[in-house]
Structures are given as C-alpha cells and as structure tokens.
Structure 1
Amino acid sequence: MNQEIEQLEPNRIWNNFSKLNAVPRPSKKEEKVIEFMLNFGRSLQLETFKDEVGNVIIRKEASIGMEDCKTITLQSHLDMVHQKNSSTDFDFNTQGIEMYVDGDWVRARGTTLGADNGMGVAAIMSLLESHDIPHPPLEALFTIDEETGMTGAMGLKGGVLKGQILLNLDTEEDDEIDIGCAGGIDITATRTYEEQTVPKESIAYGISVKGLHGGHSGMDIHRGFGNANKIMNRLLFKSTEEFGIGVSQIDGGSLRNAIPRESFATVVLRADQKEDFEVKITEWVEDIKSENSFVETKLNISLNKVKMPVKMMEKTAQDKILRAVYAAHNGVYAMSAAIPELVETSNNIARIQVKSGKISIGCLTRSSVNTAKFDLANSLKSVFELADCSVTLTGEYPGWSPNPNSEILEVLKDQYEILFNEKPQVVACHAGLECGILGKNYPEMDMISFGPTIKGAHSPDERVSISSVKKFWIFLLQILKNTP
C-alpha cells in the first residue's frame, strides 16, 4: 500500500511521509514520534537534541559557499489530529495511517491523513538527509502538541534557536504566503445533574447525526459546514418542547479544533407518543436537510429504537443545558475590518458529553484581535453559567501579527513569481500557527508560513494534492538557494 505512495514524485518527501505515517503520533501522545525523530537526526550524524518539553531540534551545516547566509529555522509540528469515521476500526495509539492514491490526491482509509503537518515534517527530513541540495545553515524545529494546546511552542525557551529566519511549513494552499494568524482560547463548561429513573410505559430511541463534512475549526469555519452538536441540540430541544422527552445521554464531536461531524443521543418518551414523535422527527429532519442541502449533501440523521436506559436527566437541568447550547454562538462571529475576507472571530462548539450525572461542553474560540477573543469567550462563559455550569478559560495563545515589511516575505514573493509566472496571495489565516507563540521569545526572527494544498484537514476527508507537493518542494528549494 505505502509502496504506491513512495513511488510518487518527489520521492524524497513521499518516502519520508510514509515512514512518518507508520509511527503513531496523536497529540499529547508523541513519545514514539519524538524517538523516531531523534533516531533520524542521530542516524545522519547531525546535532540532534530534545528540549525540556519534548520539541526536537536538529542542525545541519551550510552547503559549501553558503556558510555566510543567514541561518534558517525550518519548523513543523510532529503531532496530528486523530479523527476517524464511527464505522472505522482504528487505534491511533498503535496503528500507522493507511494511505492510498485517488487521482491527484493522497487520502487515508476512514481516518485523518496527517498531511497536517506531516508534509512539512517530511520536507524538512528530506532536506536534512540530502547531499545535493544547496542550502544555508539549517535548523529544524519539530514541535509537539500543536493541535491541542501548542504546548511545544509555548514551552520552547528563548536562546535555544539560532536561526534568523523561520519558515513555518504548515499552511494549506500552495498559492498563499501567510504572514499572520489568529489566537485562541479553550472554553470548558461542566456541571452535575440529578438522574431520574425512567418512568414505566416509556420507549427509548437513539438519535444519530452523521455524514457531515467536519473539518478544521479555523480554516473551514466560514464554509457553512454543519455542526453535529448544534443539529442534535436542535432536535433535542424541539423534542423536549413538544413531547417532554427525557435525555439519557449525549455524545457529540471530539477534538476542539475539529468541526463536529457526528453526534449521538439516547432519549426516552411515553410509549403512547411513539407515532406522533416519529412523524415530527421526520419533519424536522427534512427541514434540517433542506437548510443544509447545498453544503452537507451526505448529512444523515437517523432514529432507531434502542434498549431502555435505567436513568435520564432531571428535567430542570435538561432544559437549562439545551437552552444554553441553543444560545451559545457557533461559527463566524465577526469578519476582519482590516483584511478583506478574513474571519476575525469565531467559535466552535466542539464536544458535548452528557452521561451518568455529568455534563461537559468544550469550545474553541479564535480571533486575530485579542480583545475580541476574550469578548466572545466571556459571552459564552455567561451563557453556560446561566445554566449553572462551572466555566474555565484555558490554553490561551496569541495570534501572529502581520509584518508587511518582512525581508523574507519579499524573497518568497519574488521567487514565486519567477517560478510560477504569477503573484502569490499574501494572506493572514484564521487558524492557529505557532509563529505568534515562538515570536514571544524570538522577537527578532523573521517569520513566514507556506505549504502544499491540503483539503479537509482535521477530518477523515483530509487529503493532500500530489501535484501541489511537487510545486511546494520546488518552491522550498528555490527559497533556500536565494536566502539573504
């Protein structure tokens, strides 16, 4: 299977990507990939070490004649988002990613691919092991835990890096050069509730919401993709209003940085309401599908009889939490007034768990304006507190402020035009890149970000363009040859 991948051009990158993807590397469980990267650097007899938090740094001397060029730090993160379809049997802690070629795309079978940010890691590995590529002094920085907290970048101390220029290889459109990004903060709402015994003469149903796009909660937040948690909550709210259902449990979404694709709930109601309930659910589902028909063509909402649960939520708690989730903002909150078509502020209601007397709701709020980020976070905090939740704001990280006068930006713009006979798009993005965090301890470092075209990141639909990887590699080599 991976032999098919390794035969793609450029062979160096695809070979290293295959090796990397054979190593389990979910966020916060990067021990195996850290060891893999340490062994890789040492096998090349390059200066290789791990810092206090687990970031791996590898250094390579300049090619002959380029010793006086500025040192370039090449940076990508080792971890990947671990998302899979509910029907896929896969263990991210023990298995390597199963890849295949689909036209101009490389995909994974039922899981995320790890091209975010594995393609950047593979490109850096290819440069480190090369003997025929002209380059200035190189310093590779492989960070950990970018996807669920950026703790690797946050934990990197000042004085460790020697580079004067940082090339972050973690963006997802090959015609874009990124010079800024959003910051973020996690909102977590929790509470307990009393459980009640399910009344006699009840009937139980399982409701499932599946088939949504999902995707990156920053880069895809403006695309109008459905949020499984909001769709499920809408159904539960209406069912409560019209039929007085009892909610036994809810399990929706997964990671904060992924738009939730699936949600599952178990509900109970009086047995004599069965026919009316099924009719109404069918009507509501048709409405929801119609509203989402232009974007979510594979949306599937099903209702099935299930085994009767023993307990359900106490009514007051149920009403409060359903209203809170209904009121909580999800999606784009504000567009940037400074940069056309850039999302400024957004929120993703990423994870909802209700079970055994405990409720947990996880959100990720992003903004390129720090005050706006906290403004929306406080709005969400207030909504959930009105539902008697305890709310914490954690994992805050800064955005990356654009520097339009960047020297390396001019190099990239000029070389892109020379190679491809067109101007690149110079942009800021709504995702979280590590440049803003790294810039706190390295304020004089000139930073830029670019990468190959990746679609569907943070979802099992993730794919990377084969032709784009070739373009990205050509561009990267050209940049190295023309570094000041």
Structure 2
Amino acid sequence: MNTDIQNLEPKSLWSYFANLNAVPRASKKEERVIAFMVEFGNGLGLPTTVDEVGNVLIKKSATAGMENRKTVVLQSHLDMVHQKNNDTEFDFDTQGIEMFIDGDWVKAKGTTLGADNGIGVATIMAILASTDIPHPAIEALFTIDEETGMTGAMGLQPGVLSGDILLNLDTEEDDELDIGCAGGVDVTAKAEYPEEDTPENSVAYTITVKGLKGGHSGMDIHKGLGNANKIMNRLIFNGFDGFGLQVASINGGSLRNAIPRESVAEVIIAGVYDEAFIFDMQQIVREIKEEYAVTEPEMQILFERKEEVPAKVMTPAAQFYLVRALYTAHNGVYKMSAAFDDLVETSNNIAKVRVGNGELQIQCLTRSSVESSKFDLANSLRSAFELMGCEVEFSGSYPGWAPNPNSSILKVMRELYQKINGEEPRVVACHAGLECGILGTHYPEMEMISFGPNIKGAHSPEEKVQISSVQKYWNFVLQTLENIPVK
C-alpha cells in the first residue's frame, strides 16, 4: 500500500514520492503534474513560475547563515516512462502507481515505478517544504519530457536561472558522481509496402516473444539483454527462408528509450508445411533460449494456431527487404569509450517495429558521447533502411555532456562522500542521456554533478528503488547543501 511507503524514512521524501506517484505523468502528457507542482509551490508561499514549454521553477531563499553561499539549482524531470506487463490491467491516464515494499526495495505492481525521476522530484519537494534543513539559495527546476525528447531542457531559455551549481538528481547508482553523459538522436524509418491476397490453403499463426527483462536503452544496453524486435525478426527470417512465411502484421516494442520486451506478429504459411514449420521453428526457439539462458531466463516464444486467416499479407519481395534490413541494422553496443574504462561510447536500440495494412515504421534511439560517432551509426542505420526503400528521418538530436573533472563542486562532493561513507565515490560518465548536456549549452559556466540512489530496472516493470540507498543518498544531499562553497 502507498500508505506504507509514506512511513519509510526519510518520511518527508517518501511521502512526497507517494503523492507524486498518484498523479499520471507520461512524457508529453504532463499537464496534471505541472498543475500539481504549481499548487505545491504556491502552497508553500514560494515564487513559482511555469515557462512557455512547461518547466516549473520554484525559488527558495537561503536559510539563516547560508546567504553568502553560491546559489544551487536542484533539478529533476517530472515525466516518467509508462510501461506495463501485457497481463497487467492498468490505465496510466487515470490511475496512480500501485507500490509495495519487498524487503529493502520499493516496487510497483506490474508497471514502471516512476522512481526515475520521481525520487529526485520528491527530494527537492522535501527540501523546499522543510523548515530545519540548512541550505543556500535554491532554484528548483522541474523539467518536462525528459524521457522522449528532452524538450523541456531544450526549451529552457538562457537567463531564467542564476545559480552557480546545478545538482541533477537523476543518476541510478548511489556510489557514483556523474560528470558526463551521452547525447542521442531519434532515427525513424517509414515506408508503404505492397500487399497481396492471402494464398488459398494457408494457415495462420500468432508468434509472440515475451518475458524479456527490457530496461533502459542507455544504462542497460551493454548487458546482453534480448531485444524482442531482433528476436522476432530472426524467427520471421527463418520462417520466410524455410517455408515462405508471410507477414500480416508486426507489433514490437513501445518506447525508444526502453529495450523492447515483447513483440507479436501475425503470419501465414502454406498448410502443406504446417507440421514441418512448427518442428523446425521449435529447434530455432531452443537455440535462441540457449543463447539467452543467462541474461533472459524468463523468455517465452509462443506459436499459436489461429482459426481466422488474415485477408492480406506482405508480398514476398517487400518482406525480403524488410527482414534483411532489420537483420542488418545494428542493435546494442557499437563502440566502447577509449577515454573511460567500461563506458559504452556509442549504441543503438531498435525500439519499435510496426508493420500492417501496407505501412511500416521502425523507430530507433542512437546514443553516443561523441557527436561524430553518433551520426556515424545513425547513417549506418539510415543506409540499411534506405536500401529497402524507406524514408529515414533524424530528429530530437541532443548533445552529450562533456566531463569537467576539475570543478569545485566535484571536489567538495568527493571529499564529503569519502568522509560520510569511508570510501571514495566512483567519478564516472554514463551512457544515459542526462539533461545536463542540454542545460550546459544554455549555461556554459554552471558547474554540474548528477547523482542519486540505487534504482534498478528503470524503464521496465521491473523498476525498483532501494530503501536503504535512499536514506544514504538523502543524507548525502543534505550534507552537500550544507557545504556549498561561498560566493
């Protein structure tokens, strides 16, 4: 129950997190959460504004004795990824997230939890509402649409903020101080394709790939997780080459920034091949499951015979080019960083595949901390899709965040972390897309650090946040605010 969540420590943070999670807040549908934040700021009597794109800014003066410290921007994003399991009955547009406690973790019932970035938002709310937390002057910036385009950060105008230091509370490992991140670009391929009448004496099947872990297409891209779109294409490729399988429709994946967990295809084959088709495909299924036995132990690949045969299917020629383009298109890690150990430099996620009624669309998210490498991979994808006759569009490009290992706030936070925890933090750059890169283009002199508690499985229904880690992180936030350098 969410009331149990509100009794966790620190109570103020968890209480605000529970209140926030009662508000639907999908990317590009943030009207209700914007109103929620405006009501919160006004209720505290703090100066509260909404800019032209929907970002909320709440200001709070320094507490007594802290007036000579540098102004701090506390920043988190309001939107969350809306993902659920296929067998979960849930309406993200009307329902609040249903949370529960499992040992040292807070989880959601069959949906994403919203800890990314709700814990950050709740942290800032608790600080703004406090009467006994020492802090310098604060500019609390709550951005919109971080998950599907970062349009909030992009739309923020120069001159809105006056802070010297920005603390971004959107990192998911509590021993990390992030000082750099990847940029990204959306790659979208579209085409119309010819259909033909389904041949006589055909039999129809629904092929389902499900039970994959999914996850964050940046932070989890190196883990060797299954991509439902690539697995489905492999099945269709083999069925097409071996038995003349033809596609009526494909529906795989949902969001660009989530590794696709599920894909469903409606296909037909000639009835004469029915038994041989199932026999051979089960052998391919066994091979795939063996390959992913460690990383995807819950994977399911199902073939269900359908009574009703679709009226139209993709022509063999069109399907030939589709399955080969999807096979060719790179998915996963493309290049590792030469500047940072164990850091992915460039990657791609084949996030969404839609085929049906003579139209197809393929959506990818390409990430890199090196701008030229980002577009090198994007052009590789473009080439594969253009060769099959698609129109390809690049959109939503945003820059990475160049690390500054010599910033004064990094020195302060490293020393504090070591003093509090008895060990050095890991100073890293990450492969996720943080808003710091975009905000840094508007405010190039502002020092920035990103940090947060342990969150696992972001962007998937497996998302969870660690209770003890939130306590550790909260203490670190308070100590950091108390030790902000003087102006």
Rounded to whole Å, the distance in 2 between the matches of 1:200 and 1:280 is 23
Q: Which moved further from structure 2: 307-316 or 342-351?
A: 307-316
Q: How does 1:102-113 map to 2 (within 5 A)?
A: 102-113=102-113
**Could you state the TM-score of these two structures normalised by the residue count of structure 2?**
0.99
1:427 shift after superposition: 0.2
Residue number in structure 2 paired with 1:39: 39
1:420 aligns with 2:409: no
1:281 shift after superposition: 1.1
* 1:35-84 Cα deviation digits (max 9, x unpaired): 00000000000000000100000000100010111000000000000111
1:429 shift after superposition: 0.1
Instruction: State the AA in 2 paired with 1:470.
Output: Q
Q: Which moved further from structure 2: 109-118 or 308-317?
A: 308-317
Rounded to whole Å, the distance in 2 between the matches of 1:310 and 1:108 is 41
1:236 shift after superposition: 0.1
1:140 shift after superposition: 0.2
1:200 shift after superposition: 1.3
Q: How does 1:7-406 map to 2 (within 5 A)?
A: 7-306=7-306, 307-406=308-407
Residue number in structure 1 paired with 2:443: 442
Rounded to whole Å, the distance in 1 between the matches of 2:98 and 2:197 is 45
Rounded to whole Å, the distance in 2 between the matches of 1:167 and 1:393 is 30
Rounded to whole Å, the distance in 1 between the matches of 2:109 and 2:312 is 37
Residue number in structure 1 paired with 2:4: 4
Rounded to whole Å, the distance in 2 between the matches of 1:434 and 1:112 is 21
Instruction: State the AA in 1 paired with 2:121.
Output: V
1:129 shift after superposition: 0.2
* 1:421-445 Cα deviation digits (max 9, x unpaired): 1000000000000001001110111
Instruction: State the AA in 2 paired with 1:390.
Output: E
* 1:277-336 Cα deviation digits (max 9, x unpaired): 110111000000000001100000000012211111011111101100000000000000
Residue number in structure 2 paired with 1:410: 411
Rounded to whole Å, the distance in 2 between the matches of 1:94 and 1:381 is 38
Rounded to whole Å, the distance in 2 between the matches of 1:84 and 1:355 is 23
Instruction: State the AA in 2 paired with 1:280.
Output: D
Rounded to whole Å, the distance in 2 between the matches of 1:94 and 1:195 is 38
Q: 3-state SS of the aligned residue for 1:234?
A: helix
Instruction: State the AA in 2 paired with 1:356.
Output: N
Rounded to whole Å, the distance in 1 between the matches of 2:162 and 2:229 is 45
Rounded to whole Å, the distance in 2 between the matches of 1:79 and 1:113 is 12
Rounded to whole Å, the distance in 2 between the matches of 1:391 and 1:225 is 26
Rounded to whole Å, the distance in 1 between the matches of 2:318 and 2:102 is 48
Identity among equivalent positions (%) equals 63
Residue number in structure 2 paired with 1:462: 463
Rounded to whole Å, the distance in 2 between the matches of 1:181 and 1:93 is 31
Rounded to whole Å, the distance in 2 between the matches of 1:134 and 1:338 is 38
Q: 3-state SS of the aligned residue for 2:222?
A: helix
Rounded to whole Å, the distance in 2 between the matches of 1:52 and 1:408 is 31
Q: 3-state SS of the aligned residue for 1:221?
A: coil
1:92 shift after superposition: 1.1
1:407 shift after superposition: 0.5
**Could you state the TM-score of these two structures normalised by the residue count of structure 1?**
1.00
1:166 shift after superposition: 0.1
Rounded to whole Å, the distance in 1 between the matches of 2:320 and 2:108 is 40
1:90 shift after superposition: 1.1
Rounded to whole Å, the distance in 2 between the matches of 1:371 and 1:9 is 45
1:403 shift after superposition: 0.2
Q: 3-state SS of the aligned residue for 2:327?
A: helix
Rounded to whole Å, the distance in 1 between the matches of 2:189 and 2:88 is 30
- How many residues align? The count is 484
Q: 3-state SS of the aligned residue for 1:222?
A: coil
* 1:210-247 Cα deviation digits (max 9, x unpaired): 00010000000000000000000000000000000110
1:93 shift after superposition: 1.2
